[in-house]
Amino acid sequence: MDESLLNGAFQELHSAQRVLVISHIRPDGDAVGSLLGLGLSLQALNKEVQFVLSDGIPVIFRHLPGSDQVRKQANGNFDKIVVVDCSDLKRTGDALTNQPVPDINLDHHPTNTEFAKYNLVDVKAVATAEILAEYLPKFGFPVSSQVANALLFGMITDTLGFRTFNMTPKALELAAKLMEAGGNLPGLYQRGLLNKTFKAARYWGAGLSNLEREGRIIWASLTLEDRRIVKYPGRDDADLINFLSTIEDTDIVIMFVEQGNGIVKVSWRSQPAYDVSLVAMHYDGGGHSAAAGASIKGDLKDIQANVIAQTKTMLGMM
Ligand code: 5GP
Ligand code: MN
């Protein structure tokens, strides 16, 4: 990344007193880990920090230090607004209403739309938390054991335990430094990737029971009714897609999750030969080559048929 841009952004953060840190709707481990890691480091420098997620903090992340400080709406005036792990401004939800254009956009998505004054986008970073793990200490921001745990959680979850194809030696080295600073790798791995609630397991059952295949594409859906029956509290797929990605002889996995309000959340996962972010962008979404998503308005069955056909066409799988 451009050194002068980095310098400028981090110097501005040093001189700020009131900072708003925000990330994306349906937050994942990297969104939450980056938000908390940066915010707690700023608090250690006696800055006033507001932590904002427009969907609030999901129950599964409430073990992380600082998670009790997360609110749903930004309130007040800030010297600096920092958006983390968010490829476009729409993904912040409605939490930034009445706030000016963000100052710093810190992200690792190739589909980032560069919406801030300082756009610090490193597409080689395996997680936004990796960028923070590298630059917080370099620019004199403290990495306490709480900060280390938050950032390590972001790295572990976005790489599915350091096993995604974008993994690098640098990411492992930075993760090792976070462990040295007090990051509890086995504990975070267990909580972030292995533990499942009983409700989530039953919700998986609903998705698995309608799993379909056509050639090397497989897909499954989760309806509002599935969620209601098992009382699953989230609007996500409970990470079912990452399990489906382990099924043999499969290049593309697609997951459809009904959201209410006529919206269906679509997620894609792919083997390295296919860039599913192209398909997600066709539907006004985004993400990475191997993992992408979009929110599409319409009926679940229509969207399923349309997305499967579009995925095959765009990726040359006809
Ligand atoms: P997931 O499908 O698991 O929610 O997300 C996979 C990847 O795609 C993540 O990097 C996530 O940030 C990105 N992503 C998911 N949904 C959207 C979306 O609606 N818009 C954009 N720009 N990116 C998305
Ligand atoms: Mn991320």
Q: Are residues 48 and 154 in the same domain?
A: yes
Residue 124 has pLDDT above 80, yes or no: yes
Torsional sign, CA 223, 228, 229, 231: positive
Q: Are residues 175 and 35 in the same domain?
A: yes
Q: Are residues 12 and 55 in the same domain?
A: yes
Q: Report the domain count for the chain.
A: 2
143, 177, 193 - which closes a domain: 193
pTM: 0.94
For 256, the token pair is 């459809």
Q: What pLDDT does 98 receive?
A: 86
CATH number at residue 49: 3.90.1640.10
CA of 14 to the centre of ligand 1 (A): 30
Q: What is the percent of the chain where pLDDT is above 90?
A: 95
Q: Are residues 209 and 137 in the same domain?
A: no
pLDDT tier at 97 (50, 70, 90 boundaries)? confident
Closest among 110, 23, 106, 13 to 61, alpha carbons compared:
23
CA of 177 to the centre of ligand 1 (A): 28
Q: Are residues 137 and 17 in the same domain?
A: yes
Q: What is the percent of the chain where pLDDT is above 70?
A: 100
Q: Are residues 205 and 168 in the same domain?
A: no
Q: Are residues 103 and 240 in the same domain?
A: no
Ligand 1: residue whose CA is nearest its atom 7: 292
Q: Cβ distance 106 to 131 under 8 Å?
A: yes
pLDDT tier at 317 (50, 70, 90 boundaries)? confident
Residue 122 has pLDDT above 90, yes or no: yes
Q: Ligand 2 being an ion, which residues bring their Cβ within 5 A of it?
A: 30, 85, 128, 158
Q: Are residues 169 and 203 in the same domain?
A: no
For 14, the token pair is 């040093």
Task: Give the ligand with the smallest distance to the CA of 234.
Answer: 1
Ligand 1, pocket-test mutation among 86, 91, 235, 239, most atoms within 8 A of CB:
91
Ligand 1: residue whose CA is nearest its atom 4: 293
Task: Give the ligand with the smallest distance to the CA of 241.
Answer: 1
Ligand 1: residue whose CA is nearest its atom 6: 292
Nearest 5°: phi and psi at 71?
-120, 170
CA of 318 to the centre of ligand 2 (A): 31
Residue 94 has what DSSP assignment? T
CATH number at residue 237: 3.10.310.30
Q: Are residues 241 and 163 in the same domain?
A: no
Length of the chain, please? 318
Average pLDDT rounded to a whole number, residues 53-70: 96
129, 161, 193 - which closes a domain: 193
CA of 267 to the centre of ligand 1 (A): 7
Ligand 1: residue whose CA is nearest its atom 17: 293
Ligand 1: residue whose CA is nearest its atom 20: 285
Q: What pLDDT does 219 receive?
A: 98
The string of DSSP codes covering 291-314 is EEEEEEES-HHHHHHHHHHHHHHH
What is the rounded average pLDDT for all residues in the chain? 96
Q: Cβ distance 76 to 100 under 8 Å?
A: no
Q: Cβ distance 30 to 128 under 8 Å?
A: yes
Residue 38 has pLDDT above 80, yes or no: yes
Q: What pLDDT does 6 receive?
A: 95
Ligand 1, pocket-test mutation among 26, 32, 109, most atoms within 8 A of CB:
109
Q: Are residues 65 and 188 in the same domain?
A: yes
The string of DSSP codes covering 238-283 is TTHHHHHTTSSS-SEEEEEEEEETTEEEEEEEE-TT--HHHHHHHT
Ligand 1: residue whose CA is nearest its atom 9: 287
> Domain range spanning residue 45?
3-193
Ligand 1: residue whose CA is nearest its atom 15: 293
Closest among 110, 88, 111 to 102, alpha carbons compared:
88
Average pLDDT rounded to a whole number, residues 248-256: 97
- According to DSSP, the residues that pair with 218 across neighbouring strands are 213, 253
The residues lining ligand 1, judged by C-beta closer than 6 Å to any ligand atom, are 87-88, 91, 109, 111, 267, 285-288, 291-295
Q: Are residues 98 and 184 in the same domain?
A: yes
Residue 179 to residue 25: CA distance in whole angstroms: 28
Torsional sign, CA 158, 164, 170, 176: positive
Q: Are residues 281 and 299 in the same domain?
A: yes
Beta-carbon contacts of residue 223 (< 8 Å; ≥ 6 apart): 206, 258, 300
168, 193, 218 - which closes a domain: 193
